[in-house]
A and B are shown apart, each in its own frame.
Chain A
Amino acid sequence: MAILQFIFNQILGQAYILLAIVVFIGYIALRQPISKALGGAIKTAVGVLVLGIGSSTLITTFSGIMKPVSEKFGMTGILLDTYSTMVSTNAALGDFATWTVYTMLFAFIFNIALVALRKYTKIRSVFLTGNVMLVQTAIATYIVYRFLQTPMVPTVLIASAITALYWGIFPGLLIEPVKEITGGGEFTIGHQQMFGSWIAYKIAHLFGKPEDDVEQINFPSWFSIFQDNVVSSTIVMLFFIGIMMLALGKDVVQEMAGTTHWMIHILKTGLTLSVALYILLTGVRMMVGELMTSFQGISERLLPGAVVAVDCAAIFGFSPKAVLLGFVGGAIGMVTGVAALILAKSPMLIVPGFIPMFFDNATIGIFANRRGGWKAVVIITFVSGLIQVFGSGLAASLMGVAAWQGSFDWATVWVAIIGILKLIGNALGIVPA
């Protein structure tokens, strides 16, 4: 019994070990030599731990500013960042956080099953974007647990079923649009804004003409600094954290800063957030490469004809200016949304993070440009930014967490899913209304 306990708590109960084992098994299943499997497993474990260091620095630094701001203004801060959300929901799950890894595995299995049965399900795509799979299944696990309070097995099965359906249905909407944009590419997008991208593609013609292609426009040369993600994310973080710290007043910031000048302290804090994000992404990158090699190998073995749903960045090369303009449009939309909430005296202060601001609106921008040119890009990503802010605020308050994904689908589709589960939980008397 003690041995089983040990195995469960100390090994399977630690995400970095569990994921390392998954990767190891994946390599072996693909007939790779043990040395490669071991190397992959180690890189996975290291990646997960590096991710942990990055995200805890991000959250600690952010809450260090958020706490005095919320005390002074009576607002709760909600950070819109992918990995911080996962860390928050995992913390809420507490000891049950490792259930999330099982959810990911089963969601993958269910996705494969749904495609295997495509004659009946009409589902053709296998979701393979490892970093997103990890985050989405983690959050989905908590969503189910929060409202249904079920034990491990039903929670994992329900969460993975819901996620697998999301992975099967929404990327499927983009198969034809992606084919058009890439001139024949046989893949689709598996990320966090498929619903938003599909809507953009469908309504873009109402706002502009495809002949007004953004790729034909000449941008001022300084625009290109936004292409470097480290530079862009630093600028975004500095902007928001700078405003928050200035709102606290020079004296408060000076007290926090100690012997450093308060202005330098603001700079340092903004940079620290960017550093934390960079460390976090380094960890993700390390671990995801390993995970995806296994998943892709297995998917190819079992379902050779399936359409793969991959990172939205796969189509960025086809329309790089739409990426930039979409990012700018979305950024303006999100800032406007935040300002609107403050003016409406909302108790929630939404702090947009770089990842949902950039990736979602870059992707939506590409689909908008295809059917409506640059005007559609600007208008649609602006509205998307607004929706991302308002929807995420709603989601965060329903979930009782201090961070949310910020991605379009997680401000819309998943809010509906949360709403439905909440209704069920209320109706069955599991959670108070």
Chain B
Amino acid sequence: MLRLLCVCGNGMGTSTILKIKLKGICERMGVKVGVESCSAGEAGAFISSTDIVVTTPEWGKMIRLPQSVVMVTTVNLMDEKGLTTKLEEAIRTHFPKEIK
């Protein structure tokens, strides 16, 4: 199962929207995921149990990523097509076994 982490400033508004969209996108892709959301300040604590971080470019700059973790950024959280494309690319490149 792939572990996704949605990060934003408050851990509530942006990341909740992302979380819901990502769950839907992954279901359609046939990928099993667990999605969590948190604020940028807490990301450090969650990152050790994450495979892919999804966030806006703004917050992306502030998060330090360990080698194994992939980051996907999007300015428009409501753009499902864009998110799907980016996420699919990230999964195919780094975690190809997860796609059925």
Which A305-322 residues have a C-beta within 8 angstroms of B? 308, 310-314, 316-318, 320
Selecting from B44-52, B64-72, B73-81, B85-93, the interface stretch reads B73-81
Q: Is the CB of A313 within 8 A of B9?
A: yes
Closest residue of A by beta carbon distance from B19: A289
Q: Is the CB of A316 within 8 A of B19?
A: no
Residues of A within 8 A of B76 (CB): 182-183, 185, 317-318
Per-residue contact bits, chain B 2-43, to A (CB 8 Å; 1 contact, 0 not) = 000000111111101101100100000000000001011100
Q: Is the CB of B16 within 8 A of A289?
A: yes
Least CB distance, B73 to chain A, in whole angstroms: 9
Q: Is the CB of B78 within 8 A of A281?
A: no
Known contacts A228-B9, A317-B76; is A311 also within 8 Å of B37 by CB?
Answer: no
Closest residue of B by beta carbon distance from A293: B20
CA distance in complex: A124, B57 (Å) = 30
Q: Is the CB of B19 within 8 A of A313?
A: no
Query: Dominant SS at the B interface?
Result: mixed
Q: Is the CB of B56 within 8 A of A317?
A: yes
CA distance in complex: A130, B17 (Å) = 10
Q: Is the CB of A313 within 8 A of B10?
A: yes
Q: Is the CB of B16 within 8 A of A288?
A: yes
Known contacts A228-B41, A292-B20; is A285 also within 8 Å of B79 by CB?
Answer: no
CA distance in complex: A284, B15 (Å) = 13
Residue among B9, B12, B39, B62 making CB contact with A284, cutoff 8 Å: B12
CA distance in complex: A293, B22 (Å) = 11
Known contacts A227-B9, A281-B11; is A318 also within 8 Å of B75 by CB?
Answer: yes
Q: A424 at interface (Cβ–Cβ under 8 A)?
A: no
Q: B98 at interface (Cβ–Cβ under 8 A)?
A: no
Q: A14 at interface (Cβ–Cβ under 8 A)?
A: no
Q: Is the CB of B16 within 8 A of A311?
A: yes
Residues of A within 8 A of B78 (CB): 182, 185-187, 308, 310, 314
Q: A10 at interface (Cβ–Cβ under 8 A)?
A: no
Q: Is the CB of A296 within 8 A of B20?
A: yes
Q: A426 at interface (Cβ–Cβ under 8 A)?
A: no
Known contacts A185-B78, A314-B78, A317-B58; is A288 also within 8 Å of B20 by CB?
Answer: no
Q: Is the CB of B14 within 8 A of A229?
A: no
Residue among B16, B37, B58 making CB contact with A320, cutoff 8 Å: B58
Known contacts A314-B17, A317-B56, A317-B58; is A285 also within 8 Å of B77 by CB?
Answer: no
Residues of A within 8 A of B8 (CB): 313
Query: Dominant SS at the A interface?
Result: helix
Least CB distance, B33 to chain A, in whole angstroms: 13
Per-residue contact bits, chain A 105-144, to B (CB 8 Å; 1 contact, 0 not) = 0000000000000000000000001110000000000000
Q: A342 at interface (Cβ–Cβ under 8 A)?
A: no
CA distance in complex: A83, B77 (Å) = 26
Q: A230 at interface (Cβ–Cβ under 8 A)?
A: yes
Closest residue of B by beta carbon distance from A308: B78
Residue among A186, A285, A308 making CB contact with B11, cutoff 8 Å: A285
CA distance in complex: A400, B17 (Å) = 35
Known contacts A182-B76, A317-B58; is A230 also within 8 Å of B12 by CB?
Answer: no
Residues of B within 8 A of A293 (CB): 20, 23
Closest residue of A by beta carbon distance from B9: A229
Residue among A185, A231, A314 making CB contact with B14, cutoff 8 Å: A314
Least CB distance, B84 to chain A, in whole angstroms: 15
User: Chain A CB within 10 Å — which of B10, B58, B78 has the most?
Assistant: B10
Closest residue of B by beta carbon distance from A318: B75
Q: Is the CB of A313 within 8 A of B14?
A: yes
Residues of B within 8 A of A129 (CB): 13
Residues of B within 8 A of A284 (CB): 12
Q: Is the CB of A292 within 8 A of B16?
A: yes
Residues of B within 8 A of A359 (CB): 13
B positions within 8 Å CB-CB of A? 8-14, 16-17, 19-20, 23, 37, 39-41, 56-58, 62, 75-79
Given contacts A187-B78, A227-B9, A227-B40, 19 further A-B contacts (CB under 8 A): A131-B12, A185-B79, A229-B10, A229-B41, A281-B11, A281-B12, A284-B12, A285-B12, A285-B16, A285-B37, A293-B23, A311-B12, A313-B8, A313-B10, A313-B13, A314-B13, A314-B17, A316-B56, A317-B75
